[in-house]
Structure 1
Amino acid sequence: MKLINHLAVIGSIFLFVGCKDKTATNETDKKPNIVFIMSDDHAYQAISAYDDKLIQTPNIDRIANEGMLFTNATVTNSICAPSRAVILTGKHSHINGKIDNLSKFDTTNVTFPQILQKAGYQTAMFGKLHFGNNPKGFDEFKILPGQGSYYNPRFITQKGDTIIKGYVTDITTDLTLDWMKNRRDPNKPFMLMYLHKAPHRAWLPNKKHYTEFTKKTFPLPETLFDDYNTRSTAAKTAEMGIFKHMSLINDVKLRPETVKELGIKQWSRLGQSIGRLDSVQRADWDAVYNPIDEDFKKRYPTMNDSTFTVWKYQRYMQDYLGTIASVDENVGRVLDYLDEEKLADNTIVVYTSDQGFYLGEHGWFDKRFMYNESFKTPLLIKWPNKITAGITEDEMVQNLDFAQTFLEVAGVKAPKEMQGESLVPLLTGKKEAWDREAVYYHYYEYPAEHAVKRHYGIATKEYKLIHFYHDVNEWELYDSKKDPNEVNNVYNDPEYADVVKEMTQKLKEVRKKYKDSETLDNYYIELYNKKK
């Protein structure tokens, strides 16, 4: 009898071990989950994995520490909605039709979430889409209308609009975690788009962070007082200067009556951006920002152009970086959940921005130009058991590549019309399969806000060639190795004649490869004029 019992126990052990091994195999065989985290206007200079002079971002850095940090990630068109259209479609702006923030997104475009949904992925989107109120390919979404609001924001859902009290970065994360905890199907792989409004203008931080960050002082960028001496007309006429174009009311948060009292003539007429605060929130805000206002009134009479620029820069950084502190905290909440629920090992996590941003470089805020600070975008990816932790990658990659990357990760064939390249070879240590020499860029939204002229160009690791067109015909060439700050245009330097010739030919080839042309340039100019 005892022998039979022992045999039964041994059999049970083997059965248990066998089941456990089978489960482990099934877990390994499951398609990877995809978590795509994107902020709006998050400069790579404001992520400590890239540069820790301005802020510490330990949670975003975790993605790089556990995965890969890309140092040459760029966008195809540095403006919010077009960038998002490129990400979703895997096609350049001139092909998907979303060339600027004014044009409508052509919903006949097939997006990678639609393809993944059809392939059996559960899909969800929370946060800021910035175009379209009914995104295709999602089982659930809760998105901000247009730019959305930092405080007490309204969300669009499949069941109608709803206003949620609180701070948008926290709320977006609450909604994301609620879906993961309560409506995610554990039997399906999932693709989650977790999209932050921050740090988009007007840079309104949460109370805990504006209380902290308004006391900080930040180092000045080398090119804060750039004179654009060798640059074309475009750099000299752009309307994004901190000194001249940054709003004292909307951007640096002075009271309208103070600006009027001091007789300051503003270029920008943007009004206050804190209208959604309730009485308690407004009292908290005033307790911190009114003393800043009073201090400015005392300082202003003795300020010159330089000291005024520096003061505005500091105020800009205090609020901009304060919003990023919330993003970093909340990214940590999502990463912690993935770890706690044992989902991390089979999940690829991407952190990026819809483009870069000027944090005082060249005296600017905003983006749009092909110069590095707006052209380059942060990109950090972790994928346990696939990416060797702590790797830095300097290959030229773009937001154009995300769609095809996610489809390959999911084992789904990408449509032929997609124009990017899957990053999977780079992620999995097969760098020899990557052969891109140059990336292409094209900006269209002119004449419009910030007055950045239309331009297109290519960048390699060594050089960048830009052509400004429409109401000008000007060229710029930068030696990226010798002139990383891009202050010396060498297009007309005889020593670079061969480089100009080579890069111009390469630009023609790349334009042809991506099916862009002068004919399309003219078409979009005419279309834009009709819309205006």
Structure 2
Amino acid sequence: MKSITALALLLSTAALHAEKDGRPNILFLFSDDHALRSISSYGGDLKTVAPTPNIDRIAKEGAIFKNSFCANSICGPSRACILTGKHSHKNGFTHNGGKGLDQSQWTVAKALHKSGYTTAVIGKWHLQTNPVGFDHWEILPGQGNYYNPDFKQMNGKVKRFPGYATDITTDKAIAWLDKRDQSKPFFLMCQHKAPHRTFSPALRHLDAFKGVQIPEPASLFDDYKNRSKTLAKNEMEIDRHFHWSYDAKLRKDERPGVKLPGPDGYGTPEYKRMTPDQRKQWDAHYGPLNQAFLKDFKAGKLSHKDIVRWKYQRYMHNYLATVKAVDEGVGRMLKYLDDNGLTENTIVIYSSDQGFYTGEHGWYDKRWMFEQSMKMPFLIRWPGKVTAGSKPEAMIQNIDYAPTFMEVAGLKAPAEVQGESMLPVLTGAKKQHHESLYYAYYERGVHSVPQHFGVRTATHKLMYFPVTDEWNMFDLEKDPDEMKDVYGNPEYAAVRQELRAEYDRIRKKYDAPDYSSHIPGFKKREK
């Protein structure tokens, strides 16, 4: 009897503390490489063929930002921008690899934890150094795997878990919510590997898009003319670079310039991790598809464009199937909040580290400052604060997340933080946020995407390629697909002058380094 009374007292005390604190919980649902096109609440041509009802629920009950952008379209750097509220050159994580994120610097996780939040990060981390500022963490080593993934534990050990990574990440997030210190508000970062390559669907979703013809983007066969000469040198094309040729026998059937699909759908890294039963189901699905393709290929029935279109359909079926699992995971998290009385005082955010190319410009990766990879999803629900169904036009950037989390928690971000709190936009007090956004891509060599930098306004975009000393400018209203550079067009002389001045201003504002500091052999040029 005494133990029951003590338990009741403990629970009532915890509830009193939580009520006294009053600050909202923050549930940050995050994915990797999620294209806006593949989220149905963003509209577009995939809305009916690949709906995302659970992510859409956040938009319906909250807000969806169509002008949400990253500062550096690559996995690790984008995550560093989110945690630190600073551009890559300031937080020190400019590209994947290297020494990893310097955890001695200020991060929003450490600040929230210090202020009384209980904190956790579960899933993909990709910052190399171990998480700091979290009561609990379980992370995927490196990029992680879809099938039977390994998770690094807080004790330093790595443990393998049977099943599918997206499901397991959600399981672990819910398990932590169950056992967390309920006397404190929580900050939970639930971060998925999907839909990052190898785009390996869960077994239950292998046939999710069977017989579905995915619409092709208008620029699938982009010739890269009328823009920087660096575009044509890329190595991220569905045509020339996207293939599954890991099988020696299959490679014998390839003809020059044509990469064929391999037996396991994408590649051996996931296939080798599978159990015999998983592999059996995988082969039963992909085997007949590959054989049908090879039959037509060997018979000479397929033109070059036919092959590209076939690879595009395979890619999109797999990509969208991994998204489907993420959407299901989001649904499970929302249901947990509902079932446990947490919905009203929990801010729910869905985002991704950057966008992704789903065939636009013939591509399948990210990195470039073009819209599909610079844009990143941002949907937020906050009952009583964010108007349900709202669609703010304001431009926001991932460096803004940290100061926003700080303000909603009643805290002030330090002066070193370069982002600005979005709270006035979220509550409807302001319609505009940034007048322009700065972008910087530092990685060298990967996919042959050159270092480039730029500024984006509501209507135009300016890009600079230091190594080739090229400027590109795009009219986003007249040319939303960014197919023609207008930098040298006399009709845009005034706009060009304004954008050059804004580019210089914003680089000075953020204290951006000179190009010679990160481009070997670069010599400073006169303006």
**TM-score normalised by structure 2 residue count:** 0.91
User: Which residue of 2 is the match for residue 97 of structure 1?
Assistant: 92
User: CA offsets per residue over residues 479-507 of structure 1, 9 Å max, x none?
Assistant: 11111111111101100001000000011
Q: 2:502 aligns with which of 506, 512, 517?
A: 506
The one-letter amino acid paired with 1:171 is: I
The residue type paired with residue 135 of structure 2 is D
Matched, 1:304 2:303: yes
1:258 corresponding residue in structure 2: 250
The equivalent residue for 2:3 is none
Amino acid at match of 1:502: E
Task: Write out per-residue CA displacement over residues 394-417 of structure 1, whole angstroms, 9 at most, x where no aligned residue.
Answer: 111000100001011111111110
- Give the 3-state SS of the residue equivalent to 1:457 in structure 2: strand
Secondary structure in structure 2 of the residue aligned to 1:377: coil
Runs of at least 5 residues in structure 1 that lack an aligned partner in the other structure? 1-19
**1:384-432 deviation per Cα after TM superposition (whole angstroms, max 9, x unaligned):** 0000100001111000100001011111111110000001001111116
Please give the per-residue CA displacement for 1:221-269, whole angstroms capped at 9, x wherever unaligned.
111111122111121111111100102337xxxx553233445666799
Question: CA, structure 1 residues 107+25, in 2 after alignment: closer, same or farther (shift >3 Å)?
Answer: closer
Is the aligned partner of 1:45 residue 2:44?
Answer: no
Distance 1:441 1:215 in 2: 40
SS in 2 for 1:367: coil
User: Residues 296-318 of structure 1: CA distance to partner in whole angstroms, max 9, x if unpaired?
Assistant: 11121221111111011000001
Aligned to 1:188: 184
Within a 5 Å distance, the mapping from 1:414-493 to structure 2 comes to 414-431=413-430, 434-446=432-444, 448-470=445-467, 472-493=468-489
Q: Offset of 1:133 from its aligned partner?
A: 4.8
1:24 Cα deviation after fit: 10
Provide the aligned C-alpha RMSD in A. Answer: 2.0
Q: Secondary structure at the match of 1:213?
A: coil
Deviation larger for 209-218 or 357-366: 209-218
* Contact map agreement 1:262 1:297 (CA 8 A) in 2: no
1:76 partnered with 2:71: yes
Amino acid paired to 1:232 = S
- Structure 2 partner of 1:218: 214
- Taking only the aligned residue pairs, the percentage that are identical comes to 47
The question of whether the paired residues in 1 share the 8 Å contact of 2:55 and 2:330 is answered with yes
Q: Does 1:525 align with 2:519?
A: yes
CA 1:148/1:486 → structure 2, altered by over 3 Å: closer, same or farther? same
Q: 1:476 to 1:249 in 2, by over 3 A?
A: same
Cα distance in structure 1, aligned partners of 2:331 and 2:245: 32
Deviates more, 1:274-283 or 1:292-301: 292-301
Question: How far is 1:525 from its partner?
Answer: 2.3
Moved more, 301-310 or 73-82: 301-310
Distance in 2 between residues matched to 1:60 and 1:227, nearest whole Å: 35
- Pairwise mapping of residues 233-312 of structure 1 onto structure 2 (< 5 A)? 233-249=229-245, 255-263=247-255, 272-273=268-269, 274-300=271-297, 301-312=300-311
CA distance in 2, matches of 1:277, 1:265: 31
Q: State the partner residue of 1:401.
A: 400
1: CA distance, partners of 2:105 / 2:54: 34
Q: Following the alignment from structure 1 to structure 2, what is the Cα–Cα distance between the partners of residues 85 and 285?
A: 36
Matched position secondary structure for 2:252: helix
Q: What displacement does 1:107 show?
A: 2.2
**Greater mean alpha carbon deviation, residues 214-223 or residues 482-491:** 214-223
The answer on 1:170 being equivalent to 2:193 is no
Give the whole-Å Cα distance in 2 for the aligned partners of 1:216 and 1:489: 35
**Take 1:151 and 1:320, find their aligned partners in 2: how far apart are those partners?**
15
2: CA distance, partners of 1:264 / 1:271: 21
Residue 355 of structure 1 deviates from its aligned partner by 0.3
Alpha-carbon distance change, 392 to 323 in structure 1, aligned in 2, over 3 angstroms = same
In structure 2, stretches of 5+ residues that fail to align are 1-11, 523-527
The offset of 1:184, in angstroms, is 1.2
**Is 1:85–2:85 an aligned residue pair?**
no
Distance in 1 between residues matched to 2:510 and 2:191, nearest whole Å = 28
Per the TM alignment, residue 161 of structure 1 is displaced from its structure 2 partner at its CA by: 1.5
CA distance in structure 1 between the aligned counterparts of 2:18 and 2:151, rounded to whole angstroms:
38
Distance change (3 Å), C-alpha of 1:261 and 1:25: closer
- DSSP 3-state at the match of 2:230: helix
Aligned to 1:12: none
1:82-131 CA distances to partner (integer Å, 9 max, x unpaired)? 10111111110011111101222222222100010000000011100012
Match of residue 4 from structure 1: none
Aligned mates of 1:237, 1:219 — CA distance in 2:
26
**1:393–1:226 CA distance, 2 compared to 1 (3 A):** same
Note the C-alpha offset of 1:436: 1.9
Contact 1:400 1:420 in 2 (8 A): yes
Matches for 1:340-355 after TM superposition, within 5 Å: 340-355=339-354
**Equivalent residues of 2:462, 2:499 under 8 A apart:** yes
d(CA) in 2 for partners of 1:77, 1:25:
40
User: Greater shift after overlay, 224-233 or 199-208?
Assistant: 224-233
SS at match of 1:49: helix
**Structure 2 counterpart SS, 1:392:** coil
Distance 1:379 1:489 in 2: 28
Alpha-carbon distance in 2 for matches of 1:61, 1:271:
31
Partner amino acid for 1:111? T
Number of corresponding residues: 497
Counterparts of residues 56-205 of structure 1 (less than 5 Å):
56-104=51-99, 105-159=101-155, 160-181=157-178, 183-205=179-201
Q: Match of 1:37, as an amino acid? A: L
Structure 2 equivalent of residue 229 of structure 1? 225
Distance 1:130 1:215 in 2: 35
Q: How many angstroms apart in 1 are the aligned matches of 2:96 and 2:29?
A: 21
Contact 2:395-2:433 within 8 A present in 1 as well: no
Q: Is the 8 A contact 1:35 1:347 kept in 2?
A: yes
Partner-residue secondary structure (3-state), 2:71: coil
**Conserved 8 A contact 1:133-1:156:** no
Contact map agreement 2:244 2:259 (CA 8 A) in 1 = no
Q: Distance in 2 between matches of 1:292 and 1:137?
A: 47
Aligned partner letter, 1:524: H
Q: Deviation digits for residues 113-171 of structure 1, max 9, x if unmatched?
A: 00100000000111000122520000001100000010000000113211000000000
Alpha-carbon distance between aligned partners in 2 of 1:463 and 1:430, rounded to the nearest angstrom: 26
